[in-house]
Amino acid sequence: MKTFERLQQLDGSQFHRVADALLSRIEPRFRGLRPHGLNEAGQSIKGQPDSYVGNSAQTCTIAFCYTTDSGDWWNKLVRDVGDAAKASPAAQEIVVAVPRDVDRDGPKDKTIDWEGKATSAAGNAKLTIYDGRKLSRYLDEDYQDTGTVPLH
């Protein structure tokens, strides 16, 4: 099974752990990433941000949002970005990671500008998106040791 396909099969907490492990390694500005959306048992909990860089979720400089929804994931992404912007008003960047291919798995109606809506929902923060294709490329080529969940 390919890494991209395996990413799509992870549950929310598994994807959260893999995304945190990978993202904290690929960009120097993400090095201080702190998980926020997992409880002590490692299960996903509601609320945003899912992780952040900074002293607290409220004062962080970078907020992270993850969703494993498969249906209309783009609408969930827009809601999550808006919630993260409200919960983390000092954030200069909101990073989104999804296990989907944003070019091929998006809305069938190509007039829906979900990325524009997400950018607007981010407010003054820069929006950065890591989709499943990009994540799987990093995992396959540069960071094979990152997966906290077996990906192969």
Q: What is the pTM of this model?
A: 0.89
149's tokens: 């969940």
CA atoms within 13 A on the CB side of 48: 25
Percent of the chain topping pLDDT 90: 65
Strands in the chain per DSSP E: 33-35, 51-53, 62-66, 93-97, 126-130
Q: Which two tokens stand for residue 143?
A: 């960071």
Give the model's pLDDT for residue 144: 65
The predicted pLDDT at position 146 comes to 57
Give the per-residue pLDDT at 39: 63
Q: Which pLDDT band, with edges at 50, 70 and 90, does 46 fall under?
A: confident
SS3 46: coil
pLDDT at position 35, please? 86
In angstroms, rounded to a whole number, what is the distance separating the alpha carbons of residues 91 and 73? 23
Reply yes or no on whether the pLDDT at 8 is more than 70.
Answer: yes
59-69: pLDDT as tens digits: 999 999 999 98
The yes-or-no verdict on residue 145 having pLDDT over 70 is no
Per residue in 88-111, pLDDT (tens digit) is 999 999 999 999 999 888 888 888
Determine the 3-state secondary structure of 119 from DSSP.
helix
